[in-house]
Amino acid sequence: MWSLPVIPLLINFCGALLGFVATLTLIPAFKDHFIAAKLFGIDLNKTSKQPIPESQGVISGAVFLIILFCFIPVPFLSCFVEEQCKAFPHHEFVEFIGSLLAICCMIFLGFADDVLNLRWRHKLLLPTMASLPLLMVYFTNFGNTTIVVPKPFRVLLGMHLDLGILYYVYMGMLAVFCTNAINILAGINGLEAGQSLVIAASIITFNVVELNGDCRDDHIFSLYFMIPFFFTTLGLLYHNWYPSSVFVGDTFCYFAGMTFAVVGILGHFSKTMLLFFIPQVLNFLYSLPQLFHIIPCPRHRLPRFNPGTGKLEMSYSKFRTKSLSALGKYILKVSETLHIVDVRQELDEDEEYTECNNMTLVNFVIKLIGPVPEQTLTVLLLLIQVVGSTTAFLIRYQLVRLFYDV
Amino acid sequence: MWSLPVIPLLINFCGALLGFVATLTLIPAFKDHFIAAKLFGIDLNKTSKQPIPESQGVISGAVFLIILFCFIPVPFLSCFVEEQCKAFPHHEFVEFIGSLLAICCMIFLGFADDVLNLRWRHKLLLPTMASLPLLMVYFTNFGNTTIVVPKPFRVLLGMHLDLGILYYVYMGMLAVFCTNAINILAGINGLEAGQSLVIAASIITFNVVELNGDCRDDHIFSLYFMIPFFFTTLGLLYHNWYPSSVFVGDTFCYFAGMTFAVVGILGHFSKTMLLFFIPQVLNFLYSLPQLFHIIPCPRHRLPRFNPGTGKLEMSYSKFRTKSLSALGKYILKVSETLHIVDVRQELDEDEEYTECNNMTLVNFVIKLIGPVPEQTLTVLLLLIQVRQILPQGGGRTPQWMWIHTKLLGHWEHLILPLYSFPSITLTSLLLPGLILTSPG
């Protein structure tokens, strides 16, 4: 059993602080390069049409990578310096390098997506490809595809269930899910980076709590990634917070999603990690009809800015009533009855049009509380994220007894 | 001792062929994306001003990575399936993953450089950062920094010499050198990809020859990378060959240089690998005065296209004679005397100007043989690349060894280290100077 590796954790923390400062300074330093490269966007929720550099996630991601590259030998120094380990921990070393490979590849492909504007099907392919090294390392390192069956299902499936190749499918899908879930809960200044910070903080808290537990090594491994991620993202959020002077880009969503997936998979706490994604899951489920184009999905679903009041209002998707499929009509009716969607009918040039609010969590919050300033909205959604994490902890430590023996 | 892992090598080869087809088809498929992203260039050696997609090295690089990701468990399958290995070869596995990390990071940073147009000092920093995982893996895996001292120095230094941290500096510099050496031997259609293809083929040949030797595992490891690299680059060259419909971009030079550095370092044959870089080294040494701005260096040093004859001629660097430093004047005089640089003086509006040809190997070939069509020039330069390799490959046979010894005498053992180390030492010693003196 390892005693707590205080020195590596301290070095990791110091490196993370360096990363915070580096991200903080590098982002303004490269603004011109990004604008010259046409990597900029216009803030649709502001009156100003000033170009705002995009894809800044590439900078925080690159800083994250460099810090962790320098950190590679640190957890293993005790083996060289004082020969305090019985045998060199090859498995941990390979996990570390393999995780960096998956994250590095994801940042690369994510940046390529931002630059080349790849299509939606690519948004599902890229995380799958980037998670390949993770799957391969898992296969070569553990190959363990057995799960403990939750109590209610034990009558049916027994105590343990070998998922086989399905376990790898699950791991691959985890990366796809995490990246895209963060990507669609977006649209207002500071939301993507902010939600990722809350999730990272939750995971760090969970890891620290579990340091007293059985799987200490897994949680130390997770901390080695989460601490630098937290601080580099903090540096990014400093510039991305309302009013944004930079945008994080899809690069950041890919980077964050993959980093979470990596620690969840190799730390063996993916189910707990998904509990921290409750708001993202809710947003995903609510968005499903539009993601599958059962209900028409416009290019942008972010809230609509009212220049008069300076507040954000719900944005709507407008379409011909005839063009809606039977399934679409049904979904719209049920949602309207449950008061989770705002539906309006109108006549325009002898054609009947239906308008429904874009089905995102951001719009839903506006529906509940009415038009609201952008910064307030972001803070509210981040509070929802914190509530979600708190609920996750409750589920993990209290309700868990209903499903597993602890 | 391992018997030859035929099945993994065959799977690697098949994967490489798939990579060839993938690169071949993906490059045209993404043309519009690149042009929409403003990642294109104009071919300065053609009359047409059609936009040509740049940075296609990112596609061949991504395909290379995906193939090798899928290939990760293959060399180790025998350990799972038939339990044919005594103990799991952790060192090899970590080397493999660590190498992929360095290459992946390099392609990423290279693509970022292409997109963001980073400055020259970044071109030296990026490969250093990308080689960090390689150094860390080396440190944690071997930590061996002792070299065998060449015979002439043994009286002075003994049989073995522990370079310590200098060995890591050397490894870091190797990546910087390989990437930039390929990058500056460029400017005509198909040259970057073509030279890399020749170097890769040479390394593959060397690896195959050495399969019968002592360090078989190192050479098998190298083959696992070089074979997919060869075929993905072949797919790239198909579109990049004269007349180019795509440009490879700095991304490719970074990708190629790092891949070569990786196999050279972890395969423990970096000195031999540098021998395959002779044209790049010659080009680098010839370019030094301009790289250090001792002689003014224009933005582009590629040959000048003559629309009338359709041939390429030397391109020149024009500057006020007064603005030349004493060192610059001296270098120009010596080069002129040795007939390696063409110098012209002229009077322009009462100001004396000097023109000298841009000091690149490409220009030098034009100087020797006169104006030449672009495709011929590329083929010539590739032949130079091949010609330099043949003696090295042949140098292993007894016949060549005999000729070598007869011709070189006791200087034979001096040539190798004298040749390879100065280039690296030069780069590493002058690195701060390059960073400080580069404009902007």
Q: What is the pLDDT of residues A251-267, one digit of tens each?
A: 999 999 999 999 999 99
pLDDT above 70 covers a percentage of chain B that reads 86
Reference A230, options A274, A257, A179, A196; nearest CA is: A196
Q: What pLDDT is stored for residue B84 in this prediction?
A: 62
pTM: 0.90
B430 against B40, higher pLDDT: B40
CA–CA gap between residue B380 and residue B371 (Å, rounded)? 13
Q: What pLDDT is stored for residue B83 in this prediction?
A: 61
CB within 8 Å: B139 and A97: no
Q: What pLDDT is stored for residue A345 in this prediction?
A: 87
ipTM score of the complex? Answer: 0.92
Residue B340: Cβ-neighbour burial (10 angstroms; 0-12, 13-18, 19+): middle
Which of B101, B107, B139 faces A97 most closely, judged by CB atoms?
B101
DSSP letter for each residue of B125-182: HHHHHHTHHHHHHHHHHT---EEEPPGGGHHHH-SEEE-THHHHHHHHHHHHHHHHHH
Reference A95, options A140, A133, A139, A137; nearest CA is: A137
Which two structure tokens, joined as six digits, stand for A203?
């995971």
CA–CA gap between residue B238 and residue B28 (Å, rounded)? 11
CA–CA gap between residue B35 and residue B52 (Å, rounded)? 8
- Looking at every residue in chain B, the average pLDDT score rounds to 84
Please name the residues in contact with B426: beta carbons below 8 A apart, sequence gap of 6 or more: none
- Looking at every residue in chain A, the average pLDDT score rounds to 91
What confidence category does residue B105 fall into, taking pLDDT thresholds of 50, 70 and 90?
A: very high
What confidence category does residue A352 fall into, taking pLDDT thresholds of 50, 70 and 90?
A: confident
Q: What pLDDT is stored for residue B388 in this prediction?
A: 67
Which of B88, B100, B115 faces A101 most closely, judged by CB atoms?
B100
* Residues of chain B contacting residue A57, judged by C-beta atoms under 8 Å apart: none
Q: What is the mean pLDDT of residues A317-337?
A: 89
Q: What is the mean pLDDT of residues A12-29?
A: 97
Q: What pLDDT is stored for residue A158 in this prediction?
A: 85
Buried b (16+ CB within 10 A) or exposed e, B191-230: bbbbbbbbbbbbbbebbeebeeeeebbbbbbbbbbbbbbb
Q: What pLDDT is stored for residue A149 in this prediction?
A: 83
Please name the residues in contact with A17: beta carbons below 8 A apart, sequence gap of 6 or more: A231
Q: What is the mean pLDDT of residues A282-298?
A: 92
Q: What pLDDT is stored for residue A229 in this prediction?
A: 98
* Residues of chain A contacting residue B107, judged by C-beta atoms under 8 Å apart: 108
Q: What is the pLDDT of residues B252-280, one digit of tens each?
A: 999 999 999 999 998 989 889 999 999 99
What confidence category does residue B418 fall into, taking pLDDT thresholds of 50, 70 and 90?
A: very low
Instruction: Determine the residue among B56, B140, B144 to mutate to test chain A binding: the one whose Cβ has the most chain A Cβ atoms within 10 Å.
Output: B140
Q: What pLDDT is stored for residue A231 in this prediction?
A: 98
Nearest residue of chain A to residue B128 (CA atoms): A66
Whether the pLDDT of residue B429 is over 60: the answer is: no
Q: What is the mean pLDDT of residues B330-356?
A: 87
- Does the CB of A26 have a partner CB in chain B at under 8 Å? no
Q: Is the peptide bond before B243 cis (omega within 30 degrees of 0)?
A: yes
CA–CA gap between residue B422 and residue B24 (Å, rounded)? 39
Count of residues making up chain B: 440
Q: What pLDDT is stored for residue A121 in this prediction?
A: 85
Q: What is the pLDDT of residues B33-77, one digit of tens each?
A: 999 999 999 988 888 889 999 999 999 999 999 999 999 989 888
Query: How much of chain B is in helix, strand and coil states, percent to nearest 5?
Result: 65, 10, 25
Q: What pLDDT is stored for residue B81 in this prediction?
A: 67
B83: left (phi over 0), alpha (psi -120 to 50) or beta: left
- Does the CB of A101 have a partner CB in chain B at under 8 Å? yes
- Does the CB of A170 have a partner CB in chain B at under 8 Å? no
Which of A90, A101, A116 faces B90 most closely, judged by CB atoms?
A90
Q: What is the mean pLDDT of residues A118-134?
A: 89
Measured CA to CA in angstroms, residue A69 lies from A55, A98, A195, A256, B419 at distances of: 22, 12, 26, 18, 32
Q: Which 8-state DSSP code applies to residue B210?
A: H
Whether the pLDDT of residue B437 is over 50: the answer is: no
Query: How much of chain A is in helix, strand and coil states, percent to nearest 5?
Result: 65, 10, 25
CA–CA gap between residue B43 and residue A296 (Å, rounded)? 44
CA–CA gap between residue B187 and residue B184 (Å, rounded)? 8
Q: What pLDDT is stored for residue B162 in this prediction?
A: 86
